[in-house]
Amino acid sequence: MSDPVDDSAEWIIGQIAEEAKLVGQPLSDDELTLLHLPAALADTGDKRPQILSLNNRLVALARQRMVHAKAMGQPCTKVRRGLRVPTDWYYHYTRMVESQYSGVVASIMQNAMQANAMSGEQKNWTSR
């Protein structure tokens, strides 16, 4: 039997990977492996530039995928003032947050749902 939190992480990774393929920028095997690592382990000195680049790329892809899902009419949930996301995204993201999932994908999703400080954003993402 699989862990429900791992299932949520895999679902999100799968959605981002599909969006990456759609825009002609598929994720490499190394990038997919990195997403599964604990954030503290992945964010070491030699991997820091790779993590920064990957974070910024995947935050944009996750947001784009959510916007596309909303445009297709998927049910949405209000996360906070100014942000509504597809309910399935909210469900999987919340499951990771509440369990304190430590994988890199959780950090990327936190940056996607809020302000992506790693790219210099100072205001939370909005999408109505």
Q: How far is 46 from 42, CA to CA, in rounded Å?
A: 9
User: Which of helix, strand or coil describes residue 128?
Assistant: coil
> Residue 1: what pLDDT?
65
Q: What backbone torsions phi and psi does residue 77 show, to the nearest 5 degrees?
A: -125, 140
Q: What percent helix, strand, coil does the chain show, rounded to 5?
A: 65, 10, 25
> Residue 2: what pLDDT?
81
> Residue 88: what pLDDT?
98
Confirm whether pTM is higher than 0.85: yes
> Residue 37: what pLDDT?
84
- Write the DSSP string, 75-112: -EEEEETTEEEEHHHHHHHHHHHHHT--BHHHHHHHHH
> Residue 60: what pLDDT?
97
* C-beta of residue 83 within 8 angstroms of C-beta of residue 123: no
> Residue 36: what pLDDT?
85
Q: How far is 106 from 21, CA to CA, in rounded Å?
A: 21
Mean pLDDT by 10 residues, the chain (128 residues): 90 97 95 86 73 92 97 96 97 96 93 93 93
Question: Which residue has tokens 């909303």?
Answer: 70
> Residue 65: what pLDDT?
98
> Residue 43: what pLDDT?
66
